[in-house]
A = this chain, B = another copy of it.
Amino acid sequence: MRITYEELQETFTRVLIKLSFSEERATLCANIFAANSRDGVYSHGLNRFPVFVEYVKEGLVIPDAEPIQVSENGVTQVWDGHLAPGMYTATIAMQKAIELAGANGIGCVSVRNTNHWMRGGTYGWQAADAGCIGICASNTIAIMPPWGGADPKLGNNPLIIAVPRTRGHLVLDMAMSQFSYGKMQEYELSNKPLPVDGGYDTQGNLSRDPVAIKTSKRSLPIGFWKGSGLSFMLDILLTSLSGGRSTPVITAGGKEFGLSQFFLCIQPAHLDEGLIEEIVKYTQSSTPVEQGKSVRYPGQSTLNTRIDNLKNGIPVNEAIWQTVLQMQ
């Protein structure tokens, strides 16, 4: 089943207004949920919406809370999100970073006590739309073991790097696990093995079986010890910059709220689209491993999916869509 962007967006808005969101804030959050589904990131679009509503009802996301600046040091700022909706605070924080970069070449905004931003790429696109390089990251609840360990102590801690480009921004939106639990569930539901090893089974063997990995709780960081180190350092970085809650503290709380994030913007004074195209073309000139397929750059699929979904409607999971319709 496919529905229009407008139908998705308007439905989300109505549900949020019913939850006592202001019209402005409901629209902003609904736009982001609808855009995530539009861009093919269904896990953080429609499919995530009922969880968000649940968090609002539990008081973990506070619809009318206002993020406040805590401190300022030169062109860096620290904000407290006061548990406002994560997408709202992230949008404000990246906007501040864009303004700081406009005036100073670079700007950095760190945020404590914020909430899940849904798709981190949203704020990369925001920076790139403003002609800026955008880098941002968030910590999360612990979902995978560190290298050498058997039980989850590290977050999925997404890292986003975005560079503006006339022919479609280059946006990398990358979490630290090889497969999220959401992605593994997709394979499980369609009875398919993962395309590469995604973790260990309970016997300690590398495995492509999503059920075996879910049972052992030993999902793999990207690049084994390397992604383990990067996830760890991102949590250290976010906590040091914001003074906010770390993955251990978030995990102890049991629910994924009150996160730490940072938003960096840089004016690319020497950005040359010719140089960028050269890198894109060169990378894509690698002989395809599978005939008929080509090498893609980060952001390319997003743009293709967006065009297709705007033209033909956005695919929705019918059960979830019915649930959301009944929330109005």
* Interface residue ranges, A against B (CB under 8 Å): 71-76, 78, 101, 103-106, 108, 110, 133, 145-154, 159, 161, 163, 170, 172, 174, 178, 196-197, 204, 206, 221-224, 226-227, 229-230, 232-237, 239-243, 246-249, 266-272, 275-276, 278-279, 282-290, 293-298
Contacts and interface: CB of A to CB of B under 8 A. Distances in A.
A282 B247 contact: yes
Contact of A268 (B241, B286, B297): B241
B266 A163 contact: no
A230 B283 CA distance: 13
B279 A229 contact: no
Contact of A232 (B101, B103, B151, B297): B297
A143 to B, nearest CB: 13
Given A222-B226, A270-B78, A133 B237 contact: yes
B278 A246 contact: yes
A106 B74 contact: yes
Contacts of A270: 71, 78, 110, 240-243
Contact of A106 (B108, B150, B242): B108
A295 B146 contact: yes
A178 B197 CA distance: 14
A288 B150 contact: yes
Contact of A163 (B170, B240, B246): B240
A223 to B, nearest CB: 3
Contacts of A151: 286-287
